[in-house]
Amino acid sequence: MKKTLFLALSLATALSGGALANDRYRERPPVIVSPDLAAPWVMQLAGPNARPVVYPRQAAEPRPVYRQRAYQQREPRAVQRRGILDQDRAQPVAMRPQPVRSRIEPQFLPQTVAYETKERPGTIVIDTNNRFLYLVTGDGQARRYGVGVGKPGFEWAGEHRVTRKAEWPSWVPPKEMIAREAAKGHYLPARMEGGPENPLGARAMYLGSTLYRIHGTNAPWTIGSAVSSGCIRMRNEDVVDLYERVNVGTRVIVM
């Protein structure tokens, strides 16, 4: 009987001790402190005759006022461009539009050359292989111009005469050309008035009853190439010069 009572008491003591231990290390709820320094419990901590220390709240700093400045137009600044190997030095580079260059080779510029031929002065001879147009002046000389000629499949040769001359001619593409270009995804107008954007350029000299012409161009960089549909194209300044030197009825030989 005593042994049983002893075991029961021991077990109760162990259980109560474990509960106390668990209660001791159990997480406590947080202490919430009142922001009011004059709260009663604060007065009790300070004593019956003490007064709590109250720190005055600092006034908020005024925000800076940003005034909108009047817009002033300034000159464009140069752009500082740095190279990979030039990290410490920077040279100002003015951003200006680059001029459009014709990129024509020097041999295709107008010039007087030696030219032996049996043709009479005033005759036009076009060498399509070398992309030159010769205006025979006599005495074994000719005035030579660079030209653009028919692309592969559009070459031709023959003899005609200038039947008509026109300044800033309008352009009416042939139906065959319209259909051919439409198959490539390029849609041509039915008619285009004369002007700087017109493919016929500043002047045109029509050859016989054909659709071929000696004319200017809006793409001077193509001079010296085989790019046309059979016409002989020249730079605008060159075709104007030739236009003033020949008349209707001038004999034209295409080789």
**Active site members:** 215, 231
Tokens representing residue 213 in the block: 């012409």
Residue 245, SS3 per DSSP: helix
Token reading at 75: 């000159």
- Rounded to an integer, what distance in angstroms lies between the CA atom of residue 54 and that of residue 40? 15
Task: Kindly calculate the radius of gyration of the chain based on its CA atoms and give it in whole angstroms.
Answer: 49
Q: Are 249 and 122 in contact (CB under 8 A)?
A: no
- From the centroid of its chain, how far is CA 42? 75
CA distance 6 to 200: 126
Distances (CA, A) of 122 to 72, 183, 215: 64, 41, 18
Tokens representing 118 are 């049996």
Phi, psi of 86 (to 5 degrees): -130, 65
SS3 for 17? helix
Cα–Cα distance, 217 to 196 (Å, whole number): 8
Which among 107, 114, 109, 110 has a CA at the least distance from the CA of 141? 114
Residue 186 is encoded by which pair of tokens? 């390029």
Q: Which residue has the tokens 């309008």?
A: 170
